[in-house]
Amino acid sequence: MATEPTNDRIMEIGFGFMGAKTLFSALELGLFSLLAAGPLDAETIRTRLGLHPRALRDFLDTLVALGMLAREGERYANTAEADFYLDRAKPSYIGGLLEMLDRRLYGFWASLTEGLRTGSPQNESKGGGENIFAALYADPVRLRLFLQSMTGVSMPSAKAMARQFPWTRYKTFVDVGAAQGGLPVQVALAHPHLTGGGFDLPIVGPVFEEYVASFGLSDRLRFHPGSFFTDPLPRADVLVMGHILHDWNLEEKRALLAKAYEALPTGGALILYEALIDDERRRHVLGLLMSLNMLIETQGGFDYTGADACRWMREAGFRETRVERLTALDSMAVGVK
């Protein structure tokens, strides 16, 4: 007799949002920043964070089971990853992104079904409002947190790209949509012969310049203000676009690729990196979820496979293309002019 399948996977997915919200609440309460100073017992955590005793143990032990806290005897401590990425005081903090997921996307995703039926965004722009960046950047604190969190999110890919790409063949590079400048800094630190910078909306400039200066790299990395839809891209041997193309529809993607092609010399390279979906569109769950998120967030954005990226780059004129895995999340598609 055939054995019945288990419902484990279904339950794990169905209850998944509760784990996410538990993490978001811990972040909102400042739990990881509190524990960054050292382990504490539950009662001390309760008084320091102003919590009710009722669900205290469940809250903390859930975070232990989720791998965000460790418990030894009576005391709770951050796990290594929570301490590195979720302590507000560290430059590697990615909580700005998680705060954004909590305050914005957690609610907007409740309307996913409506988005699937209508094909329309379900965020602030629902009913014809501003685009995601205008919404995020209206508040200077949110702007800084978002840009800083992009550095934390993209750091593993930036370090992998600094190692994997043949930078010795090139002299100049510009990261297009550079945010705080996490990638240009990593590449410049690893390759002292390179100069370059970051291109982004003018409002991003001060945050980029401050970050670059903190590494003593201001003489090698400069900020280029502009919009990639209305301004030409800076000329450089290598242009990078990280988590950019997925925000836009196919026509806009092609326009950005054409602009990049235009700005590169013969032999120059364009590197696209993001959560590229596997070519079979079966396995990379986060890449596919990211693409659904583009339905929630944008008018026409969607994520794409490495094969899509290579095809579009060849159609834009690039003569050689390849895809390389950077991290569990991101891959890079490289086009050589």
Ligand X SMILES: C[S@@+](CC[C@H](N)C(=O)[O-])C[C@H]1O[C@@H](n2cnc3c(N)ncnc32)[C@H](O)[C@@H]1O
Q: Which residues bind ligand X (CB under 6 A)?
A: 133, 150, 154, 177-179, 182, 200-201, 204, 227-229, 242-244
Sequence-ordered strand ranges (E) for 63-214: 69-72, 75-78, 172-176, 195-200
Kindly state the smallest distance separating residue 179's Cβ from ligand X, in Å.
4
Beta carbon nearer to ligand X, 150 or 260: 150
Kindly state the smallest distance separating residue 64's Cβ from ligand X, in Å.
30
DSSP, residue by residue, 42-100 = HHHHHHHHT--STTHHHHHHHHHHTTSEEEETTEEEE-HHHHHHH-TTSTT--HHHHHH
Asked whether the beta carbons of 45 and 76 are under 8 A apart, the reply is yes
Separation between Cα atoms, residue 139 and residue 135, nearest integer Å: 8
Kindly state the smallest distance separating residue 123's Cβ from ligand X, in Å.
14
Beta carbon nearer to ligand X, 118 or 227: 227
Beta carbon nearer to ligand X, 201 or 336: 201
Let me know if 284 is a catalytic residue: no
Non-local (6+) Cβ contacts of 325 within 8 A are 331
Question: Pick the catalytic residue: 191, 224, 246, 284?
Answer: 246
Asked whether the beta carbons of 195 and 171 are under 8 A apart, the reply is yes
Asked whether the beta carbons of 198 and 181 are under 8 A apart, the reply is yes
Kindly state the smallest distance separating residue 266's Cβ from ligand X, in Å.
25
Beta carbon nearer to ligand X, 147 or 316: 147
Task: Just list the catalytic residues.
Answer: 246
